[in-house]
Structure 1
C-alpha cells in the first residue's frame, strides 16, 4: 500500500477478513497486506500461499489438485464398495473391482518378479530383421511410446472422417530441449538422472553390460531429439497436416517399413494418413536404417521396463519414482498406492468407472445450471463479435457462423464404451494394463477411415479438466470439473461466472485463438479470414506474446510467449466474455454485494481463486519447457491486467502495479 493511499487494502474492503462471507469464496486464503490493484493473485491467495505446504507426494498443490483429491476420494469410496463384495462376472463392476485390486496388491507384484514382462522382453530379443522391428512397433501402439506413434483423429480437410496420424515420440525425458540444450545446468542434471535411471533398469533386468546399454539408449535418444520439432512448431495445424498414402510415406521416409508398421497396428485398409512432423519422420526413418538392430533391441527393452515399472517389483517402482518423481518434479514421497490405482483405472476403464461416478455425484440440476451458463456465455460471445472494432463485416459474418455451429457436451456421454470383451484379472496388474491399452488402441484403429462419431468423448466424466476440439467445433465439460471451487451450485452468480464462467469462456475462446481460428465452423482447416483482419488479429497476438515473455517465473527463465499464446488468448478472451455474460445474466437483478465487496469485485476474486497453486521448483522448471499454459499467477493477473471491468471494479490508477492505461489494454474478442 502506498504511503499516501488512505484507503484500506482491497482484501479488507472485499470482506475477506470480515463479514459477510460468500458461499464459494475461501476468505481465509486472502492476504490483508496486498491490494488487488497491485497483485490480484496474491490479494486472493497470498495467505494460502504463505501457509500451505505442498504435500510430500505432490509436485504441485492448489485448486486443481484439491478438486482431484476430492474426486479421487469419491472414486475410492465407490471402488472400495465394489471390492468388498463379489460382483457379477464380466460386469463393469467386476472389471473395475478386479483391476483396482490387482494394481493395489504390491505383495503379489513383488512375488511375481519379472515373470509378467518376460514374454515381452523375449519378443524384443527375437527381433532379427528390420521388418520384424517395424511389425513389432506396430503391435505395440497404445502400449509403448515408440519413436513414431500412431493415433486416429478427424481429418483436417474432411472432419467427418477419422484419419490415422503420426506423431513424433520415443524420448524418455520430457522434451527435446533436455537433450539438446548444453548450457542450462538443470537440464544437465535431468540428463544425468535419466542416465542413472537407465543404468538402474539395465542392472535390475540383468543386461550383460548395464553401463553400455544405458549409453546406447542415451545416444539413440539424443539423435531422435535432434530431429524432433519443437513445441512452438507443433502448434501450427497447417504445418502438421500432411496427408499422404502409405506408399508415399514409404517413398518420402526411406529406411523403415511404414506399410508393415501400419498393417501390424491394425491400419491395413487405410487409403491415406496424415504425417504430423514430416522432417522428424524422415529423420527417424533414417535412424532405423543406420542404428544397429542390437542397439534398437536394447533401447526397446529399457523403454518397456520403464513403461511397466509401476507394475514390477519394488526395486523397479522405486527407481521409476526416483527419476520421474523426485528428479524431474521434486516430489519427496510416492502417492499412496490406492491413488495410483485410481489413476490406472481412469486410463484403462474410464467409462466403466465414470458410469458409477456420475450416478452418485452428478445431478441433473448441475447439468442444467451448467448448460444455462454455457448458453449465456455463447450469447455474450456473439454480442462481442458483433461489436468488434477491428474486424470487417465479411470476416465477422464467418466468425458468427462458426460460433452458431458450436456444440457442447456437459457431464458425461450419452453412450458408454463397451469393454465387456476386455479380460481383467485380479492377480495380473501388468497384464491388465497391457490388455486395456491394446483393447483401446484396437477400438481406435478400427475407426480409421470411418465416419466420425460425434457422440464420442475424449475424456471420462471423472476428469478435472475441460477442452475444445477444433475439428468437431465442440466444447466439453466433464462432471468432475463442475464442482467447487470452479462451480458451486450454492454460490452466487458473481463467483460462478468468475470461476466456471471464465473456464467456459476459455474453452469457447479456443475456437478463436491463434490455432482454433484456422478452422471453420464445420471443423475444416481453411482460411476464412479477410487478410487485413488476420493481420490485425496476429498483431494483437504479438502484443500478448510480448506481455507474457516479460514474465520471469524462475530466475533466468522467462515464459515462452509463443508456446503459451493460445492459452493466454483463451484466458484473456474467456475472462472478458465471462464478465459480459455475468453482466448480461444479472441485468435487472438486485446486487448481492455490499459496502465492503461489490459483485464485480467478487467476480474477479472468484477468477483468481481458481488459479490458487503452489509448484515445486523442479516441476515449475519442467512446465516452462513443455506446458502451453502460463503459471497460475500469470494466468490470474495477466488476463485481469487487460480487463476494463477489473480496472473499473477496483478503481485502479497510475502507480498501482496492476494498472494499465486503457489504450494499452489488449482486447481481442
Structure 2
C-alpha cells in the first residue's frame, strides 16, 4: 500500500492546487500593504522585468500579506472563479487536470475511432474500453443482462457455507466483510505477504454511521433513499426494498462500530499483526480463511499480516449470527453499487443523488470525463505510453531529475544542521535520504495487460474483466521477487506520492508542468511549486509514520529514544496548531489525522527554500514584477493552493482526508516560517506570525 499522496484523492473531486497563468505586465510597481499591527510597508520595483508563472491578477492587495497570505495571493482569483456545477471544488489545479484530460481525450477519441488495431494490442483494449464506456445506447439496451448471472449466484446462497464460498472466490466483485490481498511485508520489504484488513462500508467514513449530528443524519437518510431506490430498480417492491435497505445499513453499522477510525489506521505498528495461517483460522473460523487462500492460489502461505484484529473478530461473529437473507442483500446491493457507472442511467442517477448530499456537486460530470476516468483506472499505463510520447519530453524528465537531486542535497544539509538530533540518528536519516528511489514521468517498465480481455460488447463486462485482472495480478505476486519498478499512479495523473515500503518518491508526468514546473519561469516559481512538492514527498519519509521505516523500506525504529521523543514533541506542536483551524463554523481540522501531511508541507517548504537560496536568482536578489526573489517563491507556493470549495465537500474533506484544506496548507507552514516573515516584513503580532513559543520547526 502506498503512502497518502501529496494531493487529495480524486474520489473527493477536490482540486486543491493552483494553476499559474501567463506573464504579467512589465512595469514599475509600488505595493503598499498594512499588517494587522497597522504598520505600512512599501516595496518598489525598478527592474521593469516581467515574470512568468505568478499571476498578479490573482492577488487581492486589499488583504495585507501578513494578515492572510492565502487571501493576499489568491483572493481576486477566488472571487472571479466560482465552482462549476459539475465540480465540488474549483482551483487552478482543476485547470491543469482538465488540460491533461483534454490531451488524453484527444488520444482516446483517436484510438477509439481506429477499428484496425491488432486484436489483443493495448490500442485495441484502450479503444474498446473507452468506446464501450461512452456507448450509453448499448448500456441502456443491455439493462441487467450481463449482471443477472452474478445476481443469480448470490440468490442461490442458502447457508453460511454458501457465504463462505462466495467470499472465497476472488472473481466475485463487490465489498465483502473484510479485505484480503498481497503486499510487501512491512517488516521485511523484500518479500510479499498475505494481508487482511477491515472493510465493507459504503459511506466515506465509519463516523457517518455512528454520529447523531444533523449532517450525519442527513447523509444516512440520503444513503437509505439510494439503497431503497436501487433495490426497487432491481425489481423489489417498496416494502421489500425498505426492508433490504435496513438490513444492509444494520450490517454496515455493526461493521462501522468495530472499525478503527482514520487516526488509528495511520499507526503503522498497531496495523501490523503477523499470525500463522493456523492462528488466523482458529481466531476467525467462520471466515474460512483456508478456503479463501485455496481459491486465491495462496495455499502456500504460512503467515498472514492482520491489520485490525478486533474488526475481524466481529466479522467472524457476524457471518455466523446474521440472517443469511440479510447477508445476501448486502452482497446483492454491493455488487450493483460497485458497478453502477456501467449500468443504465437510472442507476447512475441514484448514485449521483447520494454524491450530491455528500459533496454538494450540482450535476454529474460529462460522460466522456467519466469514461476517461474509468479508462485511466483500467488501462492507464497502456494509453499512458502514448500520452508521454505526445506530452512529456525526455528533457523535461532530465530537468526534473536534476531538481530532485538539488533538493536531496538541501535536505542533507538541513539534517546535518539539525541541533536536536543526535549523530547516530542523523547517520541513519542520511542513509535513508540517500537511498530514496526517484521515479519521474512514467515507468521504465510498462504494465503487461496481455491477460486482460476487453471488447466493445459490454462496458459492464469490461469492468468485471478489469476487476478480475487486477485481483489476479495482485495475488500472483505472492512468492515472487518484489517488483520495485511498479507505479501506483498513471502518467497523466496530476499528483505525486511517497511509498515507504519501496522508499521511493514518484512524480508522474501530469504534475511536471505549470504551475509546479515551468521551464520558462524563474527559479523562485519552480522551487515554490515543484520544489515544495518534491520536498513534501521527501519529508513523508521522515513524518510521524514515515520515520518508522528505514532506508530499505522496513518498519524499524532507527531513532534513539531521546531523538524520537524530541521529534514527537515538535510534531505535537504542529498538531495543536492545525486543531485550532476552523474552515467552517464548529468544524475543526483534525491535527492527528492530518499530521503526516502537515509535517510534509512544513518540511517541503523548508527544504525547497533551502535549495532555492542556492540559485543565482536568489543570490542576485533582482526584483521581478515588484517582488523580490524570496517573495516570488512564497507567492508561487501560495498560488498552487488556491481553491474554492463547496461546504459539503469541505466538511467531507475535514472528516475523511489526511490533507488539510488548501487555505491552511498555505498559511499553516508560513506562520512558522521566519524567512517568510522577513521577506514580507511581518512583525510580532501579525496574524501570519506565530509567537516564538508556539512556533514549529523540525528540519
* Fold-level similarity (TM above 0.5): yes
Residue 560 of structure 1, aligned match among 578, 587, 590? 590
Query: Conserved in 2, the CA contact under 8 Å of 1:207 and 1:213?
Result: no
- 1:294 pairs with 2:325: yes
CA distance in 1, matches of 2:45, 2:649: 33
Residue 278 of structure 1, aligned match among 298, 309, 326? 309
- 1:43 pairs with 2:72: yes
Q: CA deviation at 1:14?
A: 8.3
- 1:549 pairs with 2:579: yes
Query: Conserved in 2, the CA contact under 8 Å of 1:141 and 1:265?
Result: no
Alignment of structure 1 residues 306-385 onto 2, 5 Å? 306-324=337-355, 326-385=356-415
**Which residue number in structure 2 is paired with residue 570 of structure 1?**
600
Residue 531 of structure 2, aligned match among 494, 501, 519? 501
1:159 alignment partner, SS class? strand
Query: Conserved in 1, the CA contact under 8 Å of 2:35 and 2:65?
Result: no
**Which residue number in structure 2 is paired with residue 303 of structure 1?**
334
CA distance in 1, matches of 2:48, 2:177: 58
- 1:240 pairs with 2:274: no
Structure 1 gaps of 5+ residues are none
Alignment of structure 1 residues 64-143 onto 2, 5 Å? 64-86=93-115, 87-140=117-170, 143=173
CA distance in 2, matches of 1:588, 1:125: 69
CA distance in 1, matches of 2:536, 2:42: 30
CA distance in 1, matches of 2:170, 2:74: 45
Query: Conserved in 1, the CA contact under 8 Å of 2:67 and 2:688?
Result: yes
Q: CA deviation at 1:142?
A: 8.4
RMSD after superposition: 1.8
Deviates more, 1:298-307 or 1:659-668: 659-668
**Which residue number in structure 2 is paired with residue 518 of structure 1?**
548
The 1:267–1:378 alpha-carbon spacing in structure 2 relative to 1, beyond 3 Å, is: same
CA distance in 1, matches of 2:210, 2:435: 43
CA distance in 2, matches of 1:619, 1:461: 27
**Which residue number in structure 1 is paired with residue 3 of structure 2?**
none
1:551 alignment partner, SS class? coil
Query: Conserved in 1, the CA contact under 8 Å of 2:129 and 2:456?
Result: yes
Q: CA deviation at 1:48?
A: 1.1
The 1:504–1:588 alpha-carbon spacing in structure 2 relative to 1, beyond 3 Å, is: closer
The 1:589–1:659 alpha-carbon spacing in structure 2 relative to 1, beyond 3 Å, is: closer
1:310 alignment partner, SS class? helix
Alpha-carbon deviations, 1:72-100, whole Å to 9, x = none? 11100111111222222221111111000
Size of the alignment, in residue pairs?
Answer: 663
Alignment of structure 1 residues 397-408 onto 2, 5 Å? 397-408=427-438
Q: CA deviation at 1:254?
A: 3.2
CA distance in 2, matches of 1:123, 1:14: 73
The 1:283–1:594 alpha-carbon spacing in structure 2 relative to 1, beyond 3 Å, is: same
Regions of 4+ moved over 4 Å: 2-6
Q: CA deviation at 1:143?
A: 3.8
2:615 alignment partner, SS class? helix
TM (norm. structure 1) is 0.96
Q: CA deviation at 1:27?
A: 1.9
Deviates more, 1:533-542 or 1:85-94: 85-94
**Which residue number in structure 2 is paired with residue 216 of structure 1?**
247
Structure 2 gaps of 5+ residues are 1-33
Alpha-carbon deviations, 1:31-79, whole Å to 9, x = none? 1111211111111110111121111011111133222111111100111
Residue 632 of structure 1, aligned match among 646, 659, 662? 662
Query: Conserved in 2, the CA contact under 8 Å of 1:130 and 1:256?
Result: no
Alpha-carbon deviations, 1:383-424, whole Å to 9, x = none? 000011111111111111111111110011111111123111
**Which residue number in structure 2 is paired with residue 264 of structure 1?**
295
Deviates more, 1:91-100 or 1:21-30: 21-30
TM (norm. structure 2) is 0.92
2:183 alignment partner, SS class? strand
CA distance in 1, matches of 2:48, 2:216: 49
Alignment of structure 1 residues 171-186 onto 2, 5 Å? 171-182=201-212, 184-186=213-215
- 1:458 pairs with 2:508: no
Deviates more, 1:117-126 or 1:656-665: 656-665
**Which residue number in structure 2 is paired with residue 7 of structure 1?**
40
